[in-house]
Amino acid sequence: MPTFQQKQKRAELLRTHASRLGFEMVGIAKAERMDEEARNLEKWLNNNHHGEMSYMANHFEKRIDPTRLVPGAKTVITLTYNYFTDQIQEDSEAPKISKYAYGQDYHFILKKKLKELLGILNEEIGEISGRCFVDSAPVLERDWAKRSGVGWVGKNTLLIHPKKGSYFFLAELILDAEFATDNPIKDYCGTCTKCIDACPTNAISPEGYFMDGSKCISYFTIELKENIPSEMKGQFENWMFGCDICQEVCPWNRFSEKHEEPLFEPHSDLLKMNKRDWEEITLEIFQKVFKKSAVKRTKLSGLQRNIKFLKE
C-alpha cells in the first residue's frame, strides 16, 4: 500500500500531465459504491424522467459501483475540458446549435487524450489497470465530479465551478491505483433561480436540482428519434440541436474563458449560415459543415426534422 506522501506525489504527477494535455481541472475521489446516488437514480428512472433514453436504465449496478467497471478499482478521477467560445451565429434568426457541438466531436478528442494520460501514468508510477470514459459507459460523471470537488451540481443539474462556470466537458479515469483524494466544495447557487425561470419547457423543477430529462430541449432535438410532440411547438426558442439556455443565464458563466482547443473551432461556414440556408440544407452541406461533429449523431434527417418543427 502506498504511503500518504506517495499518493500525494501521484496526484501531483497526474495534474501536471493532465494540464499539459489541455485538461483544466482534476478531481480525485475514492472508488466506492454510491448508495445515495443509487437511490436518486432509481427514483428518477421509476418516474420515467429519462423518456425514450432506455439506455439510462441499463447496467444500473455498473453506474453506481465503479468496481463493476474496473475490477479492483480504488480511484475515480474526474477531468474537465473547456469548450466555451464567445463566437455566435451571425444570423440572429437562424436555428441555434449548442456551443459544445460547434467543433469536432469531443468524445474522440478527449478519449485520445485520456488514453495518452493513462499511458504516461503507467510509465511514471508502474503498471496501472484502468479505463477511460467520455460519455462512453454507465458512469455517473457529475456525481463523481461533485465528490471530487471539481464543482457543485447546480439547480440546472449541470456541474458548476465558481471560477470556471459550466461550459466544460467531463471525462473520467477509473484506476486500480491509489491517489490522494480531494474534498467536495460548497454549493454556491444560493437563492438564484435564473435557470429555473428561463427554461421554456419547465424541465427543471421549481425547487431546482432536478431535471426531467424527457422535457429538456436537448432531449427532443438529439435523443428523441420519433416525431417531436406537437404540444411542444413554440417552446424551443429556436434551438435546433441541443440548448444552452440554462448556461447562458447562469451568473457563474461570467467567468467562462475561451477554450484553447483548435479542434473545437467551428467550420468556417457554420456561423455564417442564415435561416434560409438551414431550412434548405443539403446532404452535401451537412457532411461538409459537420464532418467530424457530434451533430452527425442526429443525422441530416434528424436535423431537418428539428428545423421543420421550429418553422411550423
Question: Which residues in 166-179 are b (16+ Cβ under 10 Å) and which e?
Answer: bbbbbbbbbbbbbb
Query: Could you tell me where the beta strands, DSSP code E, fall in the chain?
Result: 26-30, 75-82, 96-97, 130-133, 152-153, 159-160, 168-175, 239-241
The CA distance from 7 to 150, in Å, is 19
The CA distance from 232 to 238, in Å, is 12
Q: Is 135 a catalytic residue?
A: yes
Least Cα distance to 53 among 220, 202, 170, 227 occurs for: 220
What residue has cell string 441499463? 58
Question: Which one of 65, 91, 135, 187 is the catalytic residue?
Answer: 135
Phi, psi of 186 (to 5 degrees): -70, 150
Residue pair 302/290 in contact by the 8 Å Cβ criterion: no
Q: Are strands 130-133 and 168-175 parallel, antiparallel or unpaired?
A: antiparallel
Residues assigned a catalytic role: 135
